[in-house]
Every structure is written in C-alpha cells, then in structure tokens.
Amino acid sequence: MKPYSSARREAAARGILLNANESPWPLLGGGPDEADPLNRYPQPQHAGLVEKLANHYGLPGDHLLLTRGSDDGIDLLVRVFCRAGIDSVLDTPPGFGMYRIAAQIQGAGITDIARVPDTLELNHPAILEALSSETPPRLAFFTSPANPTGDLVDPAFLDQVLETTRGRTIVVVDEAYAEFTAARGVASLIANNPHLVVLRTLSKAFASAGLRCGAVLAQPQVIDLLMRVIPPYPLATPVLNLALRLFQPEVMQQQQVALTEIARNKACLLEILQGLGFVRQLWPGHANFVLLRVDDSAALLAHCAAQGITIRAFPTAPLLQNCVRISVGSAEELQALQQALADFDSLSA
C-alpha cells in the first residue's frame, strides 16, 4: 500500500504556494508571512516536535511517529497489523479499554488473559502460554504503569515476553503514566527488539490532555508501515506550536514542580484512605491515581457527586466490582475529598 501523497509531503512550504488549494490569506492570526499561519497545512510530521520528543525519549527521530494521543497510536497499530476475522490482540483485563475497542472496530479477535483475582496482578504463566501457542496474537498490549491497577510490568517478565514473541507478535508497552514513576522506561529496548513498540503521551504528566498529542516509538520499519495509514495531517498547527512550548526550560521546570506536588498529594491521599472503615482493599500503584475496593461503590460515587466531586467506578468489569479509582488532584481538591470521604465513612459506620 502506498501512502497518500499530500502537498506538504511532496514539497516544503516555501515560496509561492499554489499546490494545495489553500487560501492565500489567513482569517485568524497574523499575515501570510507569519510563522505557521493557519491558512497553510502543517507539516505531516513536524520536524521540530519530532526532534524534541525523540531527544526526550532517547531515540533517533526516525524511531518516532507523532499521533493524536495514544489512542491514535493504538488504532494505527491494530489496523496495520491485524487482519479482520483472522488475527487477534492480547489484552489483560481489567485494563485500558481502548485496546479492545480498536480490535473490535477492526474486526480482530481478542485473546483475554485476565489478571489474577484479588491481587489483580498479571497472570504471567497464562500470558506466556498464549504468546507461545501455534497461532499467537498478532499484537500484545501491556500498560506500565497499568490503568487502573497502577502496577508496573516486571522487567524480567518483559524480557521473557520479548523472547517468546520474537518474529511472531508485536509487543506494545503503553507508558502513558511513565513520568509518575522512578522506574526506567523500556524505549531503550527497541534497538534490539524490532517487534517492540512503546506508546507515550503528553496528556498526563505534561498536563496537556486537551492537546491530544502522543507518540509511537518503534524501529523505522514499523514507523514506515504506520505512516502509510495515518491521516496526512494528524496534528493541527496550534497543537504543534503549543506542544513545542512544553519543552521550553521554564515549562519543564514547572512540570517537575507539579510532579513533586502530585507525589506529595498522593501520599496524603493514601494516608486518608488507609484510615477509612469502608475501604476493603487498596492498590497504591505507581501513577497519579489509586484504586480501592469499598463496600458499595455506587453509593460512594453518588455521595461524592452530591458534594461536587467526580470519581470513577467500573461496574462492567468482573474483577473490579465495588472498585473505585481516584485521581490525585490539588491540595484544595484533596481537602474537599477528605471531608466527603469522612462524611461517607460516618454514614457507613
């Protein structure tokens, strides 16, 4: 399949541009000589942002594809590597639901290897058995830290997975929450593992969920295949410009301050939760949220909603019955949550 050849891919945006049926004047912003005017299509893969992100993740630029958040990367991977009605993806529920949705849209099967009940740990033996079968899944998705359990993929287990799947399965490690943990990411493993793909995003630790900007990290052969399917202009010009600002030194310093405060607030949240009688089980995890099992998740959600606080339950996930996920907010938000939980605890006593 040959990718769509866009005007910007065929020729750089220099000189008199009469090749893309664009307006010669912008209606928003400055004049036509302004850098990145909105009347012109953006670069298909903005060289400046690709370079910034590649340097940040420690990889060459040809190992990175800009996407509309991690969801876009998931969708591209499933569409490129999974044949409808033939191939499947490996999922380890409970987890991030977009892996399943992307497979269902493509018409691919889903190989479910549920987590261990009660502990919610990955079922290592069952996963390795599925990956070593005669017809293994074409894609295997892992999230580290996982959502909503917050646990990390064990490095030794990942080594086993990569060895088992070599030449058989694409292994995808979604590191959307990687910045919240001191553990080292797995992008460095890509050099010796052409079947390893890593997903990253600016939505979480970079506090830019509204930008919808992410990246796929992989060897150039994989990036080339994804480039054949991705829309010609995946990211809008304002998104690209704002994403570049995130890597200014003063903004990066602000990010470190924010990460430190989130870690401090998470410690306070855990202390609050450990003193509540209605909490039956607690998974601290390594991300900017915690998972807990309570006596009645529906009642807790309703009580918090009445106080103007929104948290999340998982009523359709068999292993997450009466489980609630709480994101780590600001100190002021934490104070309001503490009062709401204390009130609920007194009502439940």
Between CA 94 and CA 110 the distance in angstroms is 13
pTM of the shown model: 0.95
Residue 194: which of 160, 219, 215 has the closest Cα? 219
Q: What pLDDT score was predicted for residue 81?
A: 97
* CATH fold of the domain at 42-247: Aspartate Aminotransferase; domain 2 (3.40.640)
Phi/psi for 203 (5° steps) reads -75, -35
251-348 and 42-247 share a CATH fold: no
Q: What pLDDT score was predicted for residue 31?
A: 57
Between CA 298 and CA 345 the distance in angstroms is 14
pLDDT, block means (10 residues), the chain with 349 residues? 83 86 85 74 94 97 97 97 97 97 97 96 98 97 98 98 98 98 94 98 97 97 96 93 96 97 97 95 97 97 97 96 97 97 90
Residue 255: which of 292, 222, 306, 207 has the closest Cα? 207
Q: What pLDDT score was predicted for residue 19?
A: 87
Q: What pLDDT score was predicted for residue 30?
A: 60
* pLDDT tens track for 248-292: 999 999 999 999 999 999 999 999 999 899 999 999 999 999 999
Q: What pLDDT score was predicted for residue 301?
A: 97
Q: Where are the domains of the chain?
A: 42-247, 251-348
Q: Are 24 and 15 in contact (CB under 8 A)?
A: no
3.30.70.20, 3.30.9.10, 3.40.50.1100, 3.90.1150.10: CATH of 251-348: 3.90.1150.10
